[in-house]
Chains A and B, each alone.
Chain A
Amino acid sequence: MTDVFYDDKFVGNVDNPQQFVEQVKEQRRSSKLPKALNVYYDDLYNEVYISTTTGRAQRPLIVVRGGKSLFTEDLAQKLRNNEITWGYLVEQGVIEYLDAAEEENALTTLSEEELTPEHTHLEISPILLLGLVSSLVPYGNHTNPVRLEMGTKVYKQALGIYTSNYLQRYDTDCSLLYYPQIPILQSFMYDILDYAKHPSGQNVVIAVMSYEGYNMQDSIIINKGSIDRGFGRSTYYRPYIAEELRYSGGLVDEVGIPDKEVKAYRTEADYRYLEKDGIIYPEADVKADEALIGKTSPPRFLGEVEEFSIAASTRRESSVVVRHGEEGKVDMVVLTENEEGNKLVQVRLRDERIPEIGDKFASRHGQKGVVGMIVPEADMPVTSTGIKPDIIFSPHSLPSRMTVNHILEVLASKVGALSGKYIDGTCFDATPEEELRKQLLTLGFREDGAETMYNGITGELMKVRVYIGNMYYLKLQHMAANRLHARASGRIQLLTRQPIEGRAKGGGLRLGEMEKDCLVAHGAALLLKERFDSDKVIVHVCEKCGTLAIYDEYRKKQFCQKCGTGTDITPIELSYAFKLLLDEMRALNVYPKLILESKY
């Protein structure tokens, strides 16, 4: 007696569970039961589960009966001739979908030769053990799994055409690659994905060698000529949004060029691109902190009327300005209203990004790196046939990572480029290396892919042959222009008078505790002091009571609030944060007395 559960509800008993399960499966295969129904016999607890619920991931497998695959050569031929479809095979019970539970009862194998009478299913293709993106990595079976995963990770960060209607969209932080190409070396998944409609990389010529030490530690060298011809260029889009909000008391935001009377008015120059309606015009060339949409808001608190203000208006300026450190051209301006009926202005900025030092590039094998140098085309090494590589890749990145597929891709793409064909690099099912070598030889090249090269600067013949060929390269989201940050002076915090934090706000880079330790360890005492001078102040101290005295700059008078004018008052240099600490101690009823002494 075996309990049977239907969608986790007990429905009855059967005497012969194996037979029962087989019957259910048969009925499903003959389409008497839905294809989405799965049945599972748990021999440990002696229970049968039938599931028809949503949310179970199913995967297709070829049904095997008596050690023979139901997907015969005859069917395969028909499929090739487009006489039958996938749907037909599912309908006929040649292919069925299993869920995670039913998989427990199945015995599958990868190839038809391995089938035995015990097997119940045959995998359609071994590539199914990989995910969607991992199956895009060519020669995936020739790499370290860690690198395979990195390859997929990197693929997701690649710039390309992320959607076809990008012109109508207002996506934050998105980029579009110029001249995207489809790779020479592909896997069958590229067709399934319709990759040609949204490619995200470019085919380049790559030489595996070092160049003046500028491709150390995973950095790459790019040919300036390739960049000039359009390699790796992209457009960066950023939308800016302003809304005319309504506040209680009938107050509203107002889009328009702000009046000069308005609180926190910027300079006139900042508003120069705004048209009469307060909105910037398309194709305006804007720099950081310039206004895109002029806007004023009502005072924050009702009744916030400044007594001594002559101006009638107490409105605040709240324009939308270009982010700190960014610039670009106005790409599109949209005037509309939102769900609540408020006026909504959207402005999209576009910025052309040409590859520069620090931009990140990667191959499809988890070999990512930043640009270390951009070399003038004339200085690039050249092969005897006059080919100059687009990218120079460091050979040190290969042995420890064991990304053999990276090396194979160079070879395969070289064959493809020379013969004008696409090469199949599908994982487990790719064009074998021997085949590629043979083809390369017949194309008139060395079968190992290496070529004699000449130094581009001196014209000398290089002593060793260089491995050179084609490759598919991806430009990744992380660009130096989005990260670059430095400051000299700028905004400070109100409380501590130390510089504010954060790139977007133009803050400083903190010299933290451990960096401080480094300077101390080097004995660089005066450099350390200078680093921490960002909040230094001169305070006047009463030598009698040791507290802060007052110095009246205007009348040139100094006095202590406690001891009067008769005491010695000396100016000293302190960090403002320490002055704050003394104040806080005083608030704790602790009296910190400063005892002054001559430093010299």
Chain B
Amino acid sequence: MDDLIKEYEGIIPGKLLEDIKRESKEQSLIKKQVKIVLDKVKEEYENAKIDPGEAIGIITAESFGEPSTQMVLRTFHFAGVAEVNVTLGLPRLIEIFDARKIPETPSMEIHLKSEYKNDPKQVRKIASLIKETKLEDISREFTVNLVKSSIEVSLDRELMRELSITPTLLVDSVQNSLKTVSVKYKDDDALVIKSKSPEGELSDIYRLKEKAKNAHVKGIKGVTQVVPVKTGNEYVIQTAGSNVREVMEIKEVDVENVLSNNIFETAEVLGIEAAKETIIREAVKVIENQGLDIDIRHIMFIADVMTATGNIKGITRAGITSEKESVLARASFETPIKHIINASIIGEVDSLNSVVENVMVNQAVPLGTGLPGLLAKMSAKLEKEDKKKK
């Protein structure tokens, strides 16, 4: 039986072979029957292959373009779970395919290790660990003392206790994030911040005050909101703000299941394949949310194109369009003069291998019926060669 299946390796994908192996064992099929199954699968697999010369790029573009015209009408809708707002709809789709460095609403979906994920109390505790607390969040008032050129921060004791922030921890972390200041804790729940550098300008102290407000106290930088959400029978932490690297360092977190919607961050921390999956996941999320139906293979194709170079390239003139081989194709898509002049400087040759160039010069495009050429044995000499001899 295994020999028979081995014969089909390379003809049918491994995943399908495994499925057949398992199923035929379960159904206790005999060799003859398995052979029939394999042949049928092979036939179907061959049928599913795309023909040479099929214009998959344009079909993908049309498959996206048509439904997204309907999406325009429903733009600027936000949706999300419990207080975490997430950009969706056309703006998000544009954001993904343009490969913007930072999404408008970065967010994460953090799954926890199996010991913790079913206990709401534990989950809430972990969530509070992740949420970033700034000095501003636990203080009542910021007062500038011009005489002593210091800043006094009156603290909210209750909040501090709730977030389990001790005075020592507070002093340390404020010291760390502000660097060139001395931080002192006074007994009456106040923090005195004083600049170490000698008498500066008056505006410096105000600038320091603004800086002090944003001083990092606790939690993970960039994560502004945390909401534990029950999905199925486990609890998942949804966040606003994304910081994959630091979240993965928390020991309770299931490292394999930290999902960020920031493509570039994912690429940096987890590599380009993860970024590709992120693009697919995020695009599918938008499309499903809008109730549209676009085949996932179109999205996979776009994600492949965007990440093929190892870097993330958007579908813009700076992104994948600049990768095109043909000068004319590049020139026909935004900033033509730039491309023509640059091509003339280095003497680029356009061999008219793709669609746009051939449309421009009014030749058959190398796709579909325009793709096949004719090979023939020439018994007579070409006219031109005859002329040359004369």
Contacts and interface: CB of A to CB of B under 8 A. Distances in A.
A195 interface: no
Contacts of B371: 523, 525
A227 B61 CA distance: 48
A523 B363 contact: no
Contacts of A581: 360
Given A588-B340, A590-B340, A595-B349, A521 B361 contact: no
A526 interface: yes
B170 to A, nearest CB: 50
B362 A521 contact: no
A57 to B, nearest CB: 34
Nearest to A517: B58
A529 interface: yes
A574 B61 CA distance: 28
B55 interface: yes
B360 A521 contact: no
Size bin of chain A's contact surface = 20 to 34
A578 B361 contact: yes
Contacts of B55: 520-523
Size bin of chain B's contact surface = 20 to 34
B369 A524 contact: yes
Contacts of A573: 362
B359 interface: yes
B373 interface: yes
Interface string B325-339: 000000000000100
B370 A588 contact: no
Nearest to A529: B364
B54 interface: yes
Contacts of B369: 523-526
B53 to A, nearest CB: 6
B362 A529 contact: yes
B272 to A, nearest CB: 29
A591 interface: yes
Given A525-B364, A528-B359, A574-B362, A520 B58 contact: yes
A337 interface: no
Given A533-B362, A573-B362, A523 B53 contact: yes
A536 B62 CA distance: 28
Nearest to A585: B340
A517 B344 CA distance: 29
Contacts of A535: 362
Interface in A438-472: none
Contacts of A516: 359
A585 B343 CA distance: 12
A600 B360 contact: no
A10 interface: no
Contacts of A520: 55, 58, 355, 365, 367-368
A102 interface: no
B374 A600 contact: yes
Interface in A502-532: 516-518, 520-526, 528-529, 532
A314 interface: no
Interface of B: 53-55, 58-59, 61-62, 337, 340-341, 344, 349, 355, 359-371, 373-374, 376, 382, 384
Interface of A: 516-518, 520-526, 528-529, 532-533, 535-536, 568, 573-575, 577-578, 581, 585, 588, 590-591, 595, 598, 600
Given A528-B370, A585-B344, A588-B340, 17 more contacts: A520-B55, A520-B365, A521-B55, A521-B62, A522-B368, A523-B54, A523-B371, A526-B364, A529-B363, A529-B365, A532-B362, A577-B360, A578-B360, A578-B361, A588-B341, A590-B344, A595-B349
21 contacts: A516-B359, A517-B62, A518-B62, A523-B55, A523-B369, A523-B370, A525-B364, A525-B365, A525-B367, A525-B368, A525-B371, A528-B359, A532-B359, A535-B362, A568-B384, A574-B361, A574-B362, A577-B360, A578-B361, A585-B344, A590-B341
